[in-house]
Amino acid sequence: MELINNIAKAHGGVSVFGGVGERTREGNDLYMEMKESGVINEKNIEESKVALVYGQMNEPPGARMRVGLTALTMAEYFRDVNKQDVLLFIDNIFRFVQAGSEVSALLGRMPSAVGYQPTLSTEMGSLQERITSTKKGSITSIQAVYVPADDLTDPAPATTFAHLDATTVLSRGLASKGIYPAVDPLDSTSTMLQPRIVGNEHYETAQRVKETLQRYKELQDIIAILGLDELSEEDRLTVARARKIERFLSVLCGRIPVLQESMLLL
């Protein structure tokens, strides 16, 4: 909601929201919020800055599967014809895969070992590879990805991740500690985290943070069984640093952490 509002009002772009297998209630709530914020103008629909397209949960799998492609076609229109920068939301891309699996079963195709359609990679590629920029405009996509049983190696999310520039993984473990946003720095990735893009200092700090958090993760079982006092002095220092980093990453709303603060924790 906040991203759509910022894109519409601050940057003059347009947003397209594709609700794949969306609940009717949630779709209605989003529409009402867009209307109240002025992003959707019912009196003059041409002035609206967002397009919403839904394939609801109670609809046939073919309809749900086509919603993602329909939203993408609309985004391509705004990019190529209107020459605008487009923010494309897809919620949830896993339901796109799920709908494709149902269609595949109805067609009598032999499923893969874990139950997905044999054409999973082809279907995902036909959607993801159309999300690109041209000289006329751009499409930036943000996709919600449900991960079955929190298994990042499951074929559905793994196939999706292969097409994304960055992934933000939410952790149930961090949420249970009351750490929000519950973003797991170890599982989250970004192709932008390179020395030539962010600079050597930023890159090296990020790597040291990951090393500290990884070591803390390895020590958690030992701490649970033997306690913190049984660790070596170096490991206790690592645990203290890792806990400070977790609190640091759990920032207050509106506060942006700076690189120098991260370096002090290390």
Boundaries of every domain in the chain: 2-164, 166-266
Which CATH number describes the domain made up of 166-266?
A: 1.10.1140.10
Tens-digit pLDDT profile for the chain (266 aa)? 677 777 666 667 888 999 999 888 888 998 898 888 888 888 888 888 889 999 988 899 999 999 999 999 999 999 999 999 999 999 989 999 999 999 999 999 988 878 899 999 999 999 999 999 999 899 999 999 999 999 999 999 999 999 999 999 999 988 888 888 899 999 999 999 999 999 999 999 999 999 999 999 999 988 988 888 888 899 999 999 999 998 888 865 455 556 566 555 55
- Spatial distance between the Cα atoms of 13 and 7, rounded to a whole number of angstroms: 6
Question: What pLDDT is attached to residue 191?
Answer: 93
How far does Cα 109 stand from its chain's mean position?
A: 30
Question: What pLDDT is attached to residue 181?
Answer: 86
Burial of 18 (0-12, 13-18, 19+ CB in 10 A): buried
- Spatial distance between the Cα atoms of 137 and 83, rounded to a whole number of angstroms: 5
What is the identity of the amino acid at 165? D
Tell me which H or E stretch contains 233.
helix 233-249
Question: What pLDDT is attached to residue 134?
Answer: 92
> What fold characterizes domain 2-164?
Rossmann fold (3.40.50)
- Spatial distance between the Cα atoms of 85 and 31, rounded to a whole number of angstroms: 21
